Amino acid sequence: DAGVIQSPRHEVTEMGQEVTLRCKPISGHNSLFWYRQTMMRGLELLIYFNNNVPIDDSGMPEDRFSAKMPNASFSTLKIQPSEPRDSAVYFCASSNDRDHEETQYFGPGTRLLVL
Amino acid sequence: SQQGEEDPQALSIQEGENATMNCSYKTSINNLQWYRQNSGRGLVHLILIRSNEREKHSGRLRVTLDTSKKSSSLLITASRAADTASYFCATHTRKAAGNKLTFGGGTRVLVKP
């Protein structure tokens, strides 16, 4: 299995631009998580989906952030408009709760820099 | 505030020595997990201990859990330079839907050759 796939791996953009991050979870996993990691705030859960349905989006910073999961093999995290304080590493993770496996598998992350 | 808090925040040891780090949490848990993150990479799951377990081993890793004190420790024995990484504890609570985990701030471990 290829593991969790994220794209792009690096993104540099200017303030005000739209940014779209993509994630392909491990095949067969039914939960997907979006995290943000910074030195100041550590690892924060932004939103997670279970069976393609958003369960908890309380970590989404504000209306500029949105996430979708149109099917079991794809999710996007969009920031519009982007701001310099959004600069961080964004991780996607997936897990399978059907077999009572409770570990999460992380992708390599997307490093976002907003100038 | 975070569910899991690691202590110490940073640790520097010589190769061959043991490294111990601790995690405290606030609410009842279903299980507690430890993850490792190498610089510039995603987190990798190391070990899971359930609330009814007190100790678990995996290779050079030993994890303990004390639910009465709401704390856990991770011991890495005979450390190697390749163990240099950040280590995070994560708690899975009974209220969580799906497999939501709450991560602590991490312990940065430097193993000097």
Tally of CB atoms within 10 A around B35: 24
B89 and B74 Cβ atoms separated by less than 8 Å? yes
> Are B48 and A103 a contacting pair at CB < 8 A?
yes
Of B33, B44, B98, the CB nearest to A48: B98
Strands ordered across the beta sheet of B71-76 = B5-7, B19-24, B71-76, B61-66, B55-58
Query: Could you tell me the two tokens for A3?
Result: 């593991």
Please give the pLDDT value at position B97.
Answer: 63
Q: What is the mean pLDDT of residues A42-58?
A: 92
Distance of CA A27 to the CA centre of its chain: 17
Of A43, A50, A95, the CB nearest to B97: A50
Q: How far is CA B3 from CA A29, A74, B31, in A?
A: 25, 29, 13
> Are A50 and B30 a contacting pair at CB < 8 A?
no
Q: What is the pLDDT of residues B12-62, one digit of tens each?
A: 999 999 999 999 999 889 899 999 999 989 999 999 999 999 999 999 999
Please give the pLDDT value at position B6.
Answer: 84
